[in-house]
Amino acid sequence: MKFLFFCVPFFLQCGTYSTFTYSQYDQVRATRLNAVSSKGLSLITTSFLRSNDLYDKYVEMPRVVIYDLDNRLVAEKSRDLSYYLAELCYHTGSTLDMDDPMFARMYASSLVYSYTYLFDKKAIPGPDPFSMQFRFALETYNRSLAQLVRFAKKNRKLANLTDLSLPLMRGALTMTGAEVETTWTPKNFLEVEVAYDYKIEGFSNQINKFGIGTPLILIRKHPERESPERKKYEFVGGVGQAYPGTAFVSLEDSYLENRNLHLKAKIHLFDPVYRDRIKFAGLDLPMESDTTTPLAYMLSGAEKRDGFFAKFDGEAALDRQGLYLIYPYKKDKIPVVFVHGLASSPFIWFPMINEFLADPKIKEKYQFWVYWYPTGNPVTISAADFRDTLRDLRKTYDPKGEDVSFDKMVLVGHSMGGLLSKLMVTHTKKEDWMQAAHIPLSRYESLNHETKEDIKRVFEFKPLPFVKRVIFVATPHRGSNLAEGILGSIARILFVLPKSALSNIGKAYKFLTLNSNEDSIVPENYGVDDLVPNSLFTQVTGNLKPEVDFHSIIGNSRFRNLEWINDSVVSYDSSHLEGAKSELLVDSDHSVQDHMPTILEIKRILLEHIHVFEN
């Protein structure tokens, strides 16, 4: 019995050490987890606590351990210790409610400690960008700043950031200044949201850049004091504008040598539409950004407001008609103007624009605008409005005509939008329309001066000198058979023409295109009527050639034989124009703009456009 008594401990100890095989990915997950990505600590910080006999004490009294380690950090100036402290503060803060007085203290301290690890030249040894600590410190910095943004928002401190003072484990962090790169200051924003907080839908690709900083959504309030001339171009049909931003906080002093317990900091707000990197303290750093989530945030509000039938409501579309700058106007950036098609809206272009923002060269050289118009109106009326709007926008933002990039404008039109775009780069005279409509010149001469001017505006077009290239996407230059079939009849029933059509413009259009007396001012011509093969519109414009470089992207949902190719709405014969710089067939229905080959082709064309002018 005594023998067995003494042998039991021996046999029990034999099973202390063992190994087992990880399942696939488990080892990677275990080494990648930290306080930001899980409820626990990283293996790195856990190992440090255990090696210093602090793990159990931290579990019981986390703040005491943090205070003790902070004193040790100041004495030793250990870079690795600054990371351990950053994670411990973040981990402790994650257990607190935002109303807890220690919430801001923990996350502000986490921010300072992670900043110390990443940038403080007093810390030893130098930072190792290949180490796991470096990666974790970067992530902890970004997420700590995100928590502080949420805290400042709740406490209404975002408008006056220089009034913000945050407690630290030792002393306080005070914002002494702000450098704002975005066009508007924080006071111009109605709300500021953290982009991390939102999951997107509707975009097939989320464009994120990973690096330093916290991605934000900046929701701009409607500026009552801003000039009406600019206001009308900066708010998409009354939709609240949401812009991307990236926040970054820099320390003016070293925390390791901060003896007065008051640490000064500066907050920076960068614009990720126009930059991908941050130059700071002699360093060139990749900047964290998210340009997709702000787009989704903005569009979600618009789609909730606009139902299916709103696309056919001329009055509703008229309220939103206009050219809109998705981001603030930038001199020296080439405008790309997107024009939607029949019974559609500018929102069809945002997935494409989202992809363009991922390309540094495109983002550097171009700015993106969208045009919204009531597609129930006759095409020439919509085109005349589009032409006037482009001219007015230039007068508003470049009154002296000094922006040479404006003179390199590119138009991208889908379906009916391509027809509007073509009229911006071709010649038509009123006589062309009168001849096609068999209207004698004497009848025109009998009109009053005002009506004559309206006719000239609607039927006489000259190429706009600042438009240098056009891209046609599934454009029915010679009409579509569907426009005269059952679908065309349904469209005429659904479309509601705006009341403004009951004007001299409508009167002039009816007078020239229909055999009716001058007093009848109710136009019976819809935009869909212009798409009928052999309509007056297609007779006059069908074979017009743009007087600038142009490209065609054509959908093909059925066949490979050119005689039978169509996108279920527009045939190849209608979409094809001789003389195009390029022509691409895309395996697609009429919504060609949604497909990646189309996006890649337009990207190629835009890069080619840059090359032409650079050389």
Give tens-digit pLDDT for 163-221.
788 999 999 999 998 888 887 776 777 789 999 999 999 899 999 999 999 999 998 86
Average pLDDT over residues 390-411: 96
Average pLDDT over residues 102-122: 97
Mean per-residue pLDDT of the chain: 86
What is the share, in percent, of the chain residues with pLDDT greater than 90?
Answer: 61
Report the pLDDT value the prediction gives residue 300, as an integer from 0 to 100: 83
Report the pLDDT value the prediction gives residue 189, as an integer from 0 to 100: 78
Report the pLDDT value the prediction gives residue 519, as an integer from 0 to 100: 40
Higher-confidence position of 280 and 361: 361
Report the pLDDT value the prediction gives residue 233, as an integer from 0 to 100: 84
Give which of 279, 267, 272, 27 is closest to 165, Cα–Cα.
267
Tell which phi-psi region holds residue 527, choosing left (phi > 0), alpha (psi between -120 and 50) or beta.
alpha
Q: At 314, is the pLDDT very low, low, confident or very high (cuts 50, 70, 90)?
A: very low
Q: Tens digit of pLDDT for each residue in 322-347? A: 899 999 899 999 999 999 998 788 99
Q: How far, in Å, CA of 342 to CA of 527, rounded?
A: 8
Higher-confidence position of 503 and 451: 451
Report the pLDDT value the prediction gives residue 520, as an integer from 0 to 100: 36
Q: What is the pTM of this model?
A: 0.88
Report the pLDDT value the prediction gives residue 3, as an integer from 0 to 100: 53
SS3 97: coil
The two tokens of residue 273 are 């539409």
Q: Compute CA 100 distance to the chain's CA centroid, rounded to the nearest angstrom.
A: 36
The two tokens of residue 423 are 């009229």
Q: How far, in Å, CA of 108 to CA of 110, rounded?
A: 5
Decide if pLDDT at 497 tops 80.
no
The two tokens of residue 561 are 């034989």
Pair 221, 243: CB distance under 8 Å: no
Q: Compute CA 21 distance to the chain's CA centroid, rounded to the nearest angstrom.
A: 45
Decide if pLDDT at 312 tops 50.
no
How distant, in Å, are the alpha carbons of 15, 90, 218, 351, 568 from that of 201? 52, 30, 19, 11, 27
Pair 113, 86: CB distance under 8 Å: yes
Q: How far, in Å, CA of 32 to CA of 261, rounded?
A: 34
Which of the 8 DSSP states describes residue 471?
E
Q: How far, in Å, CA of 73 to CA of 81, rounded?
A: 6
Decide if pLDDT at 495 tops 50.
no
Helix ranges, 462-560 (H) = 486-494, 504-513, 536-541
Report the pLDDT value the prediction gives residue 332, as an integer from 0 to 100: 93
What is the share, in percent, of the chain residues with pLDDT greater than 70?
Answer: 83
Report the pLDDT value the prediction gives residue 522, as an integer from 0 to 100: 34
Which of the 8 DSSP states describes residue 542?
T
Q: At 527, is the pLDDT very low, low, confident or very high (cuts 50, 70, 90)?
A: low
Q: At what angle do helices 101-119 and 62-76 cross, to 10 degrees?
A: 30
SS3 265: strand
Strand ranges, E, within 26-79: none
SS3 content of the chain, % helix, strand, coil (to 5): 45, 20, 35
Report the pLDDT value the prediction gives residue 237, as an integer from 0 to 100: 62
Q: Output the CA torsion sign for 526, 352, 555, 465.
A: positive
Name residues whose C-beta falls within 8 Å of residue 45's C-beta, 6 or more positions apart in sequence: 34, 35, 83, 84, 87, 88
The two tokens of residue 81 are 């210790």
Q: At 560, is the pLDDT very low, low, confident or very high (cuts 50, 70, 90)?
A: low
Average pLDDT over residues 246-266: 91
- Find where tokens 């003494």 sit: 6
Give which of 500, 519, 521, 498 is closest to 509, Cα–Cα.
521
Higher-confidence position of 558 and 588: 588
Report the pLDDT value the prediction gives residue 184, as an integer from 0 to 100: 72
Pair 573, 565: CB distance under 8 Å: no
175, β-bridge pairs:
265
Average pLDDT over residues 108-115: 98
Q: At what angle do helices 449-459 and 379-397 cross, to 10 degrees?
A: 90
Decide if pLDDT at 494 tops 50.
no
Give which of 344, 332, 403, 394 is closest to 373, Cα–Cα.
344
Report the pLDDT value the prediction gives residue 427, as an integer from 0 to 100: 97
Name residues whose C-beta falls within 8 Å of residue 422's C-beta, 6 or more positions apart in sequence: 413, 470, 472, 475, 477, 541, 544, 546
- Find where tokens 């407001």 sit: 305
Decide if pLDDT at 515 tops 60.
no
Decide if pLDDT at 304 tops 90.
no
Report the pLDDT value the prediction gives residue 238, as an integer from 0 to 100: 59
Q: How far, in Å, CA of 510 to CA of 375, rounded?
A: 17
Bond preceding residue 125 cis, omega within 30 of 0: yes
Q: How far, in Å, CA of 50 to CA of 280, rounded?
A: 36
Q: How far, in Å, CA of 583 to CA of 605, rounded?
A: 11
Q: At 535, is the pLDDT very low, low, confident or very high (cuts 50, 70, 90)?
A: confident
